[in-house]
Amino acid sequence: MDFTSRIFQLALYGIVSGSIITLGAIGLSLTYGILKFANFAHGDVMATGAFLALIFLNLFQRLALPSSPFHPLSFGLPLVLAFILCMVATGGVAIGIDSALYKRLRGTRSITLLIASVGVAFILRNVLQFIWGPDPRYYIKKIQVSVRLPILGLRIKHDQVFIIIVAACLVIFLHFFLTRTRMGKAMRATSDNMDLAKVSGIDTEKVIKWTWVIGSALAAAGAVLAGIDNKFITPSFGWDMLLPIFAAVILGGIGSPYGAMLGGMVIGLSSEISTAFIATSYKPAVAFIIMVVMLLIKPRGLLGEK
């Protein structure tokens, strides 16, 4: 493989990981926009989603649901159902955490919420580790062979095409939700100005609940897609995602879900492409450096406002 096609190959992988980062970053950006605090537990919420999917997956396999894979994908109905259910369940977990903790701290300084979220991050991660242990847990045992595309000899797996399509659908769905529905518009309004939303009669507590549900469901979706891509999940997944999703949010502009999409793609692409030049183990550092450069030149991010 020559250098150009290698770069394009990495870019293709970059789109896959960018899709996953985007789904994580959107939720982070939504809660940032509305609750005005950086939720450091968001990565671990993602990981929680991935493990909730594992519970459902095991359940469906035990229920002897037809589990033959959807050709040409490497997984079948149980994982698809688990995917959908875990989004709902993760939304529920997020609302639970909110009403147990964040809600009681609302009205204090946003930094208190941030500290609380760091605590939540450690609690979630260790609950996962307590139950499932630190070793990888597998969604899919089968190995999938990648197919060759007619251009530049690029290769991609069917599962990865699935990941990109699902992520794109979710993003489009979110766009319609935010621009076409009453609740979506209320979310944007609350993000713009919570006090004004209150005096307009918007039930901001309800908006906050919806924000947690949507953000966490998308986070869970991203985590499961990552699990499909890697075949396995670990409790430390959330920590590994933290820098990329924060970098994506800051790059795109805090509070802007569209910025988060753009940022997610840029981070995914640049992290993957960087491996052509530097050691793979430094991938998380690339996201960080892009973020710092952004902070230096345009702290409000590419699409940031205010």
For residues 153 and 305, which CB has a smaller minimum distance to another protein in the complex? 305
Q: What is the nearest approach in angstroms of another protein to the Cβ of residue 189?
A: 4
Question: CB of 301: closest distance to another protein in angstroms?
Answer: 11
Nearer to another protein, 228 or 260 (CB): 260
Q: Is 158:73 a contact under the CB 8 Å cutoff?
A: yes
Nearest to another protein of 8, 258 (CB atom): 258
Question: Residue 213 CB, nearest distance to another protein (Å)?
Answer: 19
Write down the least CB distance from residue 59 to another protein, Å.
23
Please state the closest distance from residue 71 (CB atom) to another protein, in A.
Answer: 38
Nearer to another protein, 154 or 242 (CB): 242
Pick between residue 32 and residue 162 the one whose CB is nearest to another protein.
32
Binding site for another protein (CB under 8 A): 37-38, 40, 101, 104-105, 108, 110-112, 114-116, 118-120, 122-123, 125-127, 129-130, 133-134, 182, 185-186, 188-189, 191-193, 195-204, 239, 242-243, 246-247, 250, 279, 281-282, 284-285, 288, 291-292, 295-296, 299, 305-306
- Report the alpha-carbon distance of residue 54 to residue 219 in Å, rounded: 15
